[in-house]
């Protein structure tokens, strides 16, 4: 919950308001001082477009359609970077880059495009 809120730049009270709960309740859920009720977990996931699996376990297990979409978006992001920057990568580099970006997007619940941007800005 904290990672989503931080990514969005929202204060705790804004997320609490979105979820329709008291600020203190949200703070306790985020700090894991109180167990998060399923109804609030589901609402959080719906509001912030996250999977319940990600929220509960910290990882995501996409179905085959989601995996195919994510893989396609990842390949497109790597291709777009190469085209935009007039770069040529070996097939081994493409495989390595695509794998890393896919894993990051999957584990963080972010888009492959945003992960590719971070990755390529870091490697230059």
One-character DSSP codes across 53-85: HHHHHSS----HHHHHHHHHHHHHHHHHHHHHT
CATH number of 1-57: 1.10.260.40
**pLDDT more than 90, % of the chain:** 73
Domain residue extents for the chain: 1-57, 64-123
Q: Which residues in the chain show pLDDT less than 50?
A: none
What integer pLDDT is reported at residue 59 of this predicted model? 64
The model's pTM is 0.51
What integer pLDDT is reported at residue 24 of this predicted model? 97
Reference 55, options 1, 112, 110; nearest CA is: 1
Reference 93, options 78, 104, 76, 80; nearest CA is: 78
The per-residue pLDDT for range 38-64, each reduced to its tens digit, is 999 999 999 998 888 788 877 656 667
Whole-angstrom distance, CA of residue 29 vs CA of residue 79: 40
């Amino acid at each position: 919950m904290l990672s989503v809120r931080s990514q969005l730049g929202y204060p705790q009270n804004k997320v609490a308001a979105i979820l329709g709960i008291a600020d203190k309740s949200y703070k306790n859920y985020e700090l894991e001082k109180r167990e998060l009720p399923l109804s609030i977990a589901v609402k959080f996931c719906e509001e912030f477009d996250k999977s319940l699996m990600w929220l509960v376990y910290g990882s995501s297990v996409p179905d085959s359609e989601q995996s195919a979409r994510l893989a396609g978006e990842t390949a497109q992001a790597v291709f777009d970077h190469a085209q935009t920057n007039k770069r040529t990568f070996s097939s081994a580099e493409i495989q390595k880059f695509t794998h890393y970006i896919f894993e990051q997007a999957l584990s963080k619940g972010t888009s492959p495009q945003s992960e590719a941007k971070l990755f390529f800005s870091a490697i230059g």
